A and B are shown apart, each in its own frame.
Chain A
Amino acid sequence: MNPQELLYAETHEWVAVADAEGGKVATVGISDFAVESLTDLVYIQFSKSAGDAVAAGDTFGEVESVKAVSDLYCPVSGEVVAVHDKLADKLETLSDDPFGEGWMVKLKITDESALAKLMDYDAYKKMCAEQ
């Protein structure tokens, strides 16, 4: 994925929206900035599975580093269609390719209203620069 074409949440998740499954599917991961801020990742766990209904703002998992633990938040409401469980065994993927192979969940969007609250690349970069 090209990071400049993605949408971003304040909590550092990125979202790619594509037409699929007879509707719109959001692929969700966390940004390179988030991965670099965490560093020294030790663990990721997903709390949702395919078929679960989620609302924007729900947690879908947690990522643990040596220094701290962080929740992962659903940027939009929808139904979970895929969870990238294999990430747990190859955490380095998150550093190597956060916007591609580092994807975490795919959600079939049921309510697009939350998309409007997400930032574009430039706005997200500006937010990160201020942190």
Chain B
Amino acid sequence: MTEPLRKTPLADWHVEHGGRMVDFAGWSMPVQYTSIVEEHNATRGAVGMFDISHMGRLRFDGPDAGEYLDSLVTRRVADAAPGRIRYGLVTNNNGGVRDDVLVYHLQDAGGGSYWMMVVNAGNREKILGWIDEHPMPSSVTMSDLTTDWAMIAIQGPKALRLLQPVVEADLANMKYYTGCETKIAGHGGIVSRTGYTGEDGCELIVGANMATRIWEALLAEGVNFGARAAGLGARDTLRLEAGMPLYGHELNEEITPLQAGLSFAVTKGKTNHPGAEKIFASADDASLPVLIGLQLEGKRVPREGYKVTTGGGEVGGVTSGTFSPTLQRPLAMAYVNRANGEPGTTVSVDVRGSELPAEVVKLPFYQRAK
């Protein structure tokens, strides 16, 4: 028997507003409302609003919570001051990626602090199992906030203009990758300067029962300057242009963070997490493929699973591809042999039987003007 799909607090709103609902990691989520391109362009040019409540939110309390999370992820997080957020990888004993996560250290109203880890929807059960295999010290408690809280991403050059009137925290003075508890539309929540689109913006965590009211209020105000609700389709094209990996595509249990170009998220010399030695060894292992960007001419799109070739044969495979709405050309991410991975190299992609030339380029494809 198939399990019924899980619904976010905004699921009914999505259906009532034309959201084309799909099964994403067991959740019923909107892939688009009207058009991926329109939602993508709204995010690049004004504001896109995304329901990301399906992502797992795990809270950790206790004096050793930071050290405990530190022992699971590739990035040093134990030394993060309250208010800091860090992107890191949870890795298996071979250094393969179990998930890519955000670790928050948050100050509470009483002057203390607690931690939160935001995990991919499709990996939540797996990470909960991993936590069982790596028991927490008795001083640490964990609570799964995924269903009690909703999460909304507000992304784009006008995101702060839209949000600031309803958020008590001073958003313009918050640095990227910081977050805090604050009042959102008069109710307690969390705001962070984070995102997955390559644009400026924030992510909100609000009570599940408040989600629709806040969403509708923001959208009603935002339409005056071009804000739109945006689905997972636009989220995918935006993150791809921004060169950000997506778990299950660029990241999996067989690939180390360094192969994926995520050295910034692996603290040098940190060895208290699973697979640390294997991760560091992968840096110099020429036999391991590396993640690259590919840009093509024309309009035919390299898709996941298409082969990357040279005159000498197959050298790798595409993990994500799209026709870029911003750059108006086909783009892809792919894993290839190191010898073929230098920017400027020309390779071919087998697009449904046609060998199309593709240039290896540095990621990201798109970077916003700052």
Given contacts A42-B323, A69-B352, contact A64 B301 (CB under 8 A): yes
Residues of the B chain whose Cβ atoms lie less than 8 Å from the Cβ of A39: 32, 34-36
Closest to A68 in B: B303
A120 on the B face (CB < 8 A): no
Closest to A44 in B: B299
| Cross-chain contact B300 with A64 (CB below 8 angstroms) | yes
The CA of A64 and the CA of B37, in the complex, are separated in Å by 14
| Cross-chain contact B35 with A69 (CB below 8 angstroms) | no
B62 on the A face (CB < 8 A): no
A67 on the B face (CB < 8 A): yes
CB distance from B227 to the nearest CB of A (A): 20
Interface centre among B34, B237, B299 (most CB of A within 10 A): B299
| Cross-chain contact B233 with A66 (CB below 8 angstroms) | yes
| Cross-chain contact B237 with A66 (CB below 8 angstroms) | yes
The CA of A42 and the CA of B35, in the complex, are separated in Å by 13
| Cross-chain contact A42 with B301 (CB below 8 angstroms) | yes
Residues of the B chain whose Cβ atoms lie less than 8 Å from the Cβ of A67: 31, 36, 233, 322
CB within 8 Å of B: which A66-99 residues: 66-69
Residues of the A chain whose Cβ atoms lie less than 8 Å from the Cβ of B37: 40, 66
B325 on the A face (CB < 8 A): yes
| Cross-chain contact B325 with A66 (CB below 8 angstroms) | yes
| Cross-chain contact B36 with A40 (CB below 8 angstroms) | yes
The CA of A40 and the CA of B35, in the complex, are separated in Å by 6
The CA of A68 and the CA of B300, in the complex, are separated in Å by 11
| Cross-chain contact B322 with A66 (CB below 8 angstroms) | yes
| Cross-chain contact B352 with A62 (CB below 8 angstroms) | yes
Residues of the A chain whose Cβ atoms lie less than 8 Å from the Cβ of B31: 67
Given contacts A62-B352, A64-B323, contact A69 B301 (CB under 8 A): yes
CB within 8 Å of A: which B302-355 residues: 303, 322-323, 325, 352
The CA of A45 and the CA of B233, in the complex, are separated in Å by 24
CB within 8 Å of B: which A24-58 residues: 39-40, 42-43, 45
CB distance from B223 to the nearest CB of A (A): 21
Closest to A37 in B: B20
| Cross-chain contact B299 with A66 (CB below 8 angstroms) | no
| Cross-chain contact A43 with B35 (CB below 8 angstroms) | no
Instruction: Name B323's contact: one of A45, A62, A66 (CB within 8 Å).
Output: A66
**7 additional A-B residue pairs with CB within 8 Å, beyond A40-B36, A43-B300, A45-B300:** A39-B32, A40-B35, A66-B37, A66-B233, A67-B31, A67-B36, A67-B322
What are 18 pairs between A and B in contact, CB < 8 Å?
A39-B32, A39-B34, A39-B36, A40-B35, A40-B37, A40-B325, A42-B299, A42-B301, A43-B300, A43-B301, A62-B352, A64-B301, A64-B323, A66-B322, A66-B325, A67-B36, A67-B233, A68-B303
Closest 5 CB pairs of A and B: A43-B299, A42-B323, A40-B37, A66-B36, A40-B36
A-side residues, CB < 8 A to B, are 39-40, 42-43, 45, 62, 64, 66-69
